[in-house]
Structure 1
Amino acid sequence: MAHEIKVPVLPESVADATIATWHVKAGDKVTRDQNLVDIETDKVVLEVVSPADGVVGDILFEDGATVLGEQVIGSIDEAGAASTSEPAPAAAKSSAPAASGKESEINVPVLPESVADATIATWHVQVGEQVSRDQNLVDIETDKVVLEVVAPADGSLSAILAEEGATVTAEELIAKFVEGASAGAPASASASAADESGDEDALSPSVRRLLAEKDIDPASVKGTGKGGRITKEDVEKHLKAAPKASASVPSASTDDIPSVAAGERTEKRVPMTRLRKTIANRLLEAKNSTAMLTTFNEVNMKPIMDLRKQYQESFEKRHGIRLGFMSFYVKAVTEALKRFPDVNASIDGDDICYHNYFDISIAVSTPRGLVTPVLKDCDALGMAGVEKSIKALALKGRDGKLSLDELQGGNFTITNGGVFGSLMSTPIINPPQSAILGMHKIQERAMVVDGKIEILPMMYLALSYDHRIVDGKESVGFLVTVKEMLEDPTRLLLDV
């Protein structure tokens, strides 16, 4: 039986691809899932694997050829491998003597339409290690979230086909699983193998990154997690204890400190994560593909601060959450979006798409980078609902538990650099949105009020907008509306 080797389905925005490298030639014997050829697009390199055991037939396109999605580029003759595949069952039996249950496949989850591939971040188990149903086997990192693949039943892995760092596509086979007894080496052997390979195999991506940034040897950190794994808290404790240890050593005088030769200075390179690469690409895309301008204003925060002081205790007792500034920002922005629909719209080709709903993206800083989870239907949420939703999204972002649905969509973005001390900034639009509002540090300044100088808590507002769809009049009017709503919160209740 002959199988066709086809170019994978290309993303919607990719017209064609290039044959980068053939790893086999006509007549070579190949096994199922063996990488045959790398196909390069302007965004990613796709791997095309063998659909079955067989022999490579015709190769229709050589390296460097331009091909289209789903185009036939070669063939696999399954009959040619019949003689070599017969002894395989005996070999399989010998390699897995303890397998007593049925064997199943561990595949990459279905990826969203806009995500072409993913990366194997961390394997939490090894071949032969006994696991329970729904136990996390592997973390798979995409441009947006980290997906967890869990065990389908009690059992063990019989084979791992994609190691950490490998690039995989949706529903690709990455491991084989056997239900019931252990399908590989005894637990003691696997444990010793884990000890020999070091603690790094059990480290999560955030812990690895923190160890790399701080230049810490994992062996010097005592792990308190499951199975002795190192957690982020363990690294932070190690960092806090380090100054104490160095303080106990007598400090040398400045005369005794030798000068460091220039040749002894070192550098450290840490590869960018997929999320960081995506953030970089989207920022460049926003800068190069939009006519972006920024307009500024300032707002007197005293009315809101007085209101929070007056009702903070009763609000917390009634709703179980503190009354923050973000709920005022969100409600003020929602009201302004109702009055200026162009700011709530987006460009789709040659059309302008106006949205009759109000989904606002909230920029959240996480250990993996900046993400913008979406607060949906903000016009239907009360102040308490906004505060609870923002807190829930922030906690999920910190723990890497945000779902793809919570990250997709959004008509407008609010970013609050004031929490980090930023006094002024020009935020970058989050495409395909038309605008983003930057909030900043609240700082007391001398202001003239009714001919008198008063000390007031002031905050700068910055609205970056796409001038292709939003004119100066609408942008300034939008920002002034937000300012008025924040300086007189009663307007939010009276709709004036």
Structure 2
Amino acid sequence: MTEVRVPTLGESVTEATVATWFKKPGDSVAVDEMLCELETDKVTVEVPSPVAGTLSEIVADEGETVGVDALLAQVSEGDAAPAPKKDSKAKPEETDTAKATPDTAKSGSGDALDIMVPTLGESVTEATVSTWFKKAGDTIAADEMLCELETDKVSVEVPAPAAGTLTEILAGEGDTVEAGGKLAIMTQGEGAAASAPAADSKPADSPAPQGSGRTDVENAPSANKLMAEKNLSADQVTGTGRDGRIMKEDVQKALQASTQAAPEAKAPPRAPVPADDAAREERVKMTRLRQTIARRLKDSQNTAAMLTTYNEVDMTEVMALRNEYKDLFLKKHGVKLGFMSFFTKACCHALKEVPEVNAEIDGTDIVYKNYVHMGIAAGTPTGLVVPVIRDADSMSFAAIEKAIAEKGARARDGKLSMAEMQGGSFTISNGGVYGSLMSSPILNPPQSGILGMHKIQDRPMAIGGEVVIRPMMYLALSYDHRIVDGKGAVTFLVRVKEALEDPRRLLMDL
């Protein structure tokens, strides 16, 4: 008899609730087949069977709260049972891109494998097929990207579980699929012959370009899609990502370079513009991410009593300190010293004095956070996302800069997991990188505060009875007036201003 126990649930998580049992006593189970699903306040954890055999007894029923290493069930060892095709769920990987768990059936030319929708994450039950990088009949390598799914939070790449041939595509681009649903069928084996695709299958227009000598490096899905649309091969693009990975920006640069290299090539003559405005309009369906952004921002306006207060900060001292130490900082820590670490530190400092800005409303309660999980808003080709840097208040300047750089790169590549975008207690948005001089940021619910940074611009200032030119930045704090009073909001912004105009205050906790 083998015991099935609650696995390690993560840092600071000591208990979970049994959400769903996929098996009942007496059912046959295979090794690593999912037995049940546990829910914590942070993640959902699937519990696999440690052995093949029969589920003898369920000790903790659905709805029960269990601690780490608590007994969940017992399995009697025996002959391996085949994994079911309908109820089994994909086993989550440790990386943010979950791999599909194939179902296997013997065929005359090899093993027929079902390409399934992977686990999409906590509270996400469906996704939209965004892009197919392969079409029916194409030969595929193990772990090669087959398609990209888009949820309302993140993009998920689906790799091939084995080498072989993509036989049939069951869910075409634009189709909505559920977690655990079937995406396609492939035939395993290098020499497997591809059968004709089904009539209702919707193959992609062209396979994803592959660069010669780079078969072990997967390009960004957005780059593959753009190269396919522009009939550009990977050999024509220089990748700047890790290990030579081609990013969307690399493809755009290659297209721009080719246009500049051939100025004599004239664009084809445009057709006469029709008089009817409708004929000159283009209707494009909103992505799930854009729909979610629109819904959440409108919900924030409808729910919170949102108000914005403004101030300005003289960036002279921060810029001088940065210029003095940026080379030494880069040499020692391997990351550039930017402005975001100063603003993050200044906000953490101010949040300690004005904790209501770091709080949230839960029903009739106010939840005060004795930590700072800092959200850093980042613009991506598909929309705005807010990755969270956890415990930013206990991190050094270098650790903050490294975290921001890493999260930003993952955001641009569409590689952020949902866990990386949840649990933030306060947010910083830097509209200054786009040239914004002043704006009123919208709260990221359920948070009660968001700081808007803006463009640094030289302005004449009256200092000591004289007019001098100083690099100034407008700051905007949007806050939920249900929790934060005007005095608290103004105090917070003044503390941020003071810390930035005299960065030594941050070192002395003043």
TM-score by length of 1: 0.70
1:161 shift after superposition = 2.1
In structure 1, the partner of 2:417 is: 403
Shift in alpha-carbon separation, 1:416–1:456, aligned structure 2, 3 A: same
Shift in alpha-carbon separation, 1:273–1:350, aligned structure 2, 3 A: same
User: Which range is displaced more, 363-372 or 293-302?
Assistant: 363-372
In structure 2, the partner of 1:238 is: 255
Shift in alpha-carbon separation, 1:184–1:431, aligned structure 2, 3 A: farther
1:199 matched to 2:211: no
Find runs of 4+ consecutive structure 1 residues off by over 4 angstroms: 181-184, 200-205, 207-211, 243-250, 257-261
User: Which range is displaced more, 456-465 or 391-400?
Assistant: 391-400
Following superposition of structure 1 onto structure 2, how do residues 141-156 of structure 1 map, counting pairs within 5 Å? 141-156=150-165
CA distance in 1, matches of 2:271, 2:148: 46
Counterpart amino acid of residue 206 in structure 1: S
1:306 shift after superposition = 0.9
Q: Is the 8 A contact 2:359 2:425 kept in 1?
A: yes
CA distance in 2, matches of 1:431, 1:304: 31
Note the alpha carbon deviations across 1:121-157, whole angstroms, 9 max, x for none.
2223334433333222221111111112222233334
In structure 2, the partner of 1:223 is: 233
1:121 matched to 2:130: yes
Q: Is the 8 A contact 1:223 1:231 kept in 2?
A: no
In structure 1, the partner of 2:6 is: none
CA distance in 1, matches of 2:161, 2:493: 52
CA distance in 1, matches of 2:285, 2:344: 36
Q: Is the 8 A contact 1:130 1:182 kept in 2?
A: no
Counterpart amino acid of residue 122 in structure 1: T
1:289 shift after superposition = 1.2
Counterpart amino acid of residue 446 in structure 1: P
1:238 shift after superposition = 3.0
Note the alpha carbon deviations across 1:74-132, whole angstroms, 9 max, x for none.
xxxxxxxxxxxxxxxxxx99xx6422x3x443221223333242111222333443333
Q: Is the 8 A contact 2:167 2:194 kept in 1?
A: no
CA distance in 2, matches of 1:204, 1:122: 12
Q: Out of 345, 350, 357, which is 2:364 matched to?
A: 350
Shift in alpha-carbon separation, 1:197–1:108, aligned structure 2, 3 A: closer
In structure 2, the partner of 1:360 is: 374
1:175 shift after superposition = 2.5
Q: Out of 447, 456, 465, which is 1:442 matched to?
A: 456
CA distance in 2, matches of 1:168, 1:107: 10
Q: Out of 428, 431, 444, which is 2:445 matched to?
A: 431
CA distance in 2, matches of 1:128, 1:243: 37
Shift in alpha-carbon separation, 1:308–1:234, aligned structure 2, 3 A: closer
1:209 shift after superposition = 8.2
Q: Out of 109, 130, 134, which is 1:98 matched to?
A: 109
Q: Secondary structure at the match of 1:393?
A: helix
Q: Is the 8 A contact 1:445 1:458 kept in 2?
A: yes
1:200 shift after superposition = 7.8
Note the alpha carbon deviations across 1:196-251, whole angstroms, 9 max, x for none.
9743887987369869xxxxx93x6332269xxx984445433444466555669x
Q: Out of 306, 311, 328, which is 2:320 matched to?
A: 306
CA distance in 2, matches of 1:314, 1:478: 32
Counterpart amino acid of residue 232 in structure 2: K
CA distance in 2, matches of 1:197, 1:309: 50
Counterpart amino acid of residue 108 in structure 1: V
In structure 2, the partner of 1:169 is: 178
Q: Which runs of 5 or more residues in structure 1 are unaligned?
A: 1-91, 212-216
Counterpart amino acid of residue 173 in structure 2: E
Structure richer in helix, relative to its length: 1
User: How many pairs align?
Assistant: 381
Q: Is the 8 A contact 2:109 2:187 kept in 1?
A: no
In structure 2, the partner of 1:467 is: 481
Q: Is the 8 A contact 1:439 1:462 kept in 2?
A: yes
Counterpart amino acid of residue 182 in structure 2: L
1:182 shift after superposition = 5.2
Shift in alpha-carbon separation, 1:261–1:185, aligned structure 2, 3 A: closer
Q: Is the 8 A contact 1:206 1:368 kept in 2?
A: no
Q: Is the 8 A contact 2:387 2:420 kept in 1?
A: yes
Q: Secondary structure at the match of 2:294?
A: helix
Aligned residues with identical type, % of pairs: 50
RMSD over aligned CA atoms reads 3.2
Q: Secondary structure at the match of 2:482?
A: coil
Q: Is the 8 A contact 2:274 2:280 kept in 1?
A: no
CA distance in 1, matches of 2:475, 2:251: 39
Q: Is the 8 A contact 2:135 2:207 kept in 1?
A: no
Note the alpha carbon deviations across 1:309-352, whole angstroms, 9 max, x for none.
21122111111122110000000001111111111111112221
In structure 2, the partner of 1:34 is: none
Q: Is the 8 A contact 1:127 1:184 kept in 2?
A: no
In structure 2, the partner of 1:21 is: none
Q: Is the 8 A contact 2:173 2:204 kept in 1?
A: no
